[in-house]
Structure 1
Amino acid sequence: MLVEKGKQDIYGRPLGSRYYWGCNGTVARQAVNLQVANAISPNRAYTNTVVSIVDHLLGRNVYDRSYITGLGYQPPMHPHDRNSGSDNIEQPWPGYLVGGGRTATDWQDKQSDYTTNEIAINWQAALVYALAGLVDQH
């Protein structure tokens, strides 16, 4: 089902047209589910969908920007994170996955906007797993 939804989405996002607080975390967790499925029953379609998910998070999306600080094309500079916002360094801490828009077009890169630019450890964990799972695939 995730593979088919990913194929149907213009950006390869298996979540389809659903957007809500933290939806990028769900998208990253979908990669985890696909990698577990691939470990149980190897299928290149699972890995291809994971690659599409990572592509989406790194900038193949409606904003043409990465959702991961320090990575991808035009990454977020102002995550809702006290560590990045208070260290007097322009660049945010790298590797944070921001939550994304509550609709397809309302994400904004503002530190004060926790509803679209929040970070969360469970989203980071899913992102790390998604990326690590691709290392031995290529």
Structure 2
Amino acid sequence: MPTRSKLSTGLYLVVVFVSGALVGGLSYRLYSVNTVTAVTGGLPKTSPEEFRRRYIEAIRAKVHLDPQQIDQVNRIMDETRTQFDDARARSRAEMQAIEARRVEKMNAILRDDQKSAYTEFRAEREKLRQQQREKQQR
């Protein structure tokens, strides 16, 4: 078996080391990609009154509504808003009833020593939920 010279062995070691460094650097670059945050909603939030004003102005210009038709559109918008508000209230009440039944069932399976911890857990979760709502409304 022929022996390798010290020079060729040294060159092999340098090649292996350099290739390892290159592969390591490349893999680090591939896996440390900057995260991108999505902007939700697209358009800035507008108040219902501002939305209505823009909507009526746009439909008036595009469809060429006369003043009587604009009054009718306003009445339709009022009716629709009332219907949406009623639907939201019914949905909210129904969801609160479902939540109350869930809490009741959870309390039924817990021991007395666990119930206070569960109540505390629920209070913490509600506090977080309120903070998220406030953050979304900004």
Q: TM class by shorter-chain length? A: under 0.3
Task: Output the TM-score relative to the length of structure 1.
Answer: 0.22
Structure with greater proportional helix content: 2
Q: RCO higher in 1 or 2 (8 Å CA, sep ≥ 6)?
A: 1
Q: Specify the structure having the higher radius of gyration (Cα).
A: 2
